[in-house]
Amino acid sequence: MPLAQPSFTVGIEEEYLLADRATLDLAAAPEPLMRECEAALADQVSPEFLRCQIEVGTRVCENLAEARADLVRLRSTIAAVAEHHGLVPLACSTHPFADWEAQQPTPKARYQSLLKDLAGVGRRMLICGLHVHVGIEDPDLRIDLFNQVTYFLPHILALSTSSPFFLGRLTGLKSYRLSIFDNLPRTGLPPSFASHAHYQRTVDTLIRTGIIEDATKIWWDLRPSARFPTLEMRICDIPTRLEDSMTIAALFLTTTRMLYRMRRENLQWRQYDRFLINENRWRAQRYGMSEGLIDFGRGALVPYPQLLEELLALVRSDAEALGCLAEVEAARSIVARGTSADQQEALYHARRAEGADQAEALKAVVAAIAEETVGEEAVGIRQ
Residue 128: HSE in the Cβ half-sphere, 13 Å Cα cutoff: 27
Q: What is the pLDDT of residues 240-254, one digit of tens each?
A: 999 999 999 999 999
Residue 382 lies in a domain: no
- Round to whole Å and give the CA distance between 225 and 48: 18
Using alpha carbons, list the distances in angstroms from residue 302 to 77, 156, 317.
42, 15, 24
The predicted pLDDT at position 107 comes to 76
Domain residues for 45? Answer: 10-376
Q: What is the pLDDT of residues 150-192, one digit of tens each?
A: 999 999 999 999 999 999 999 999 999 999 999 999 999 999 9
Q: What is the pLDDT of residues 88-101, one digit of tens each?
A: 999 999 999 999 88
Q: What is the pLDDT of residues 277-331, one digit of tens each?
A: 999 999 999 999 999 999 999 999 999 999 999 999 999 999 999 999 999 999 9
Q: Structural domain tally of the chain?
A: 1
- Round to whole Å and give the CA distance between 131 and 232: 7
* Mean pLDDT value across the chain: 94
- Round to whole Å and give the CA distance between 370 and 80: 13
* 3 state SS of 66: helix
Residue 29 lies in a domain: yes
The predicted pLDDT at position 76 comes to 95
Read off the DSSP letter of residue 169. E
CATH number at residue 252: 3.30.590.20
Residue 352 lies in a domain: yes
Residue 316 lies in a domain: yes
Q: What is the pLDDT of residues 253-275, one digit of tens each?
A: 999 999 999 999 999 999 899 99
Residue 5 lies in a domain: no
The structure's pTM equals 0.95
The predicted pLDDT at position 1 comes to 57
Residue 381 lies in a domain: no
Residue 1 lies in a domain: no
Residue 66 lies in a domain: yes
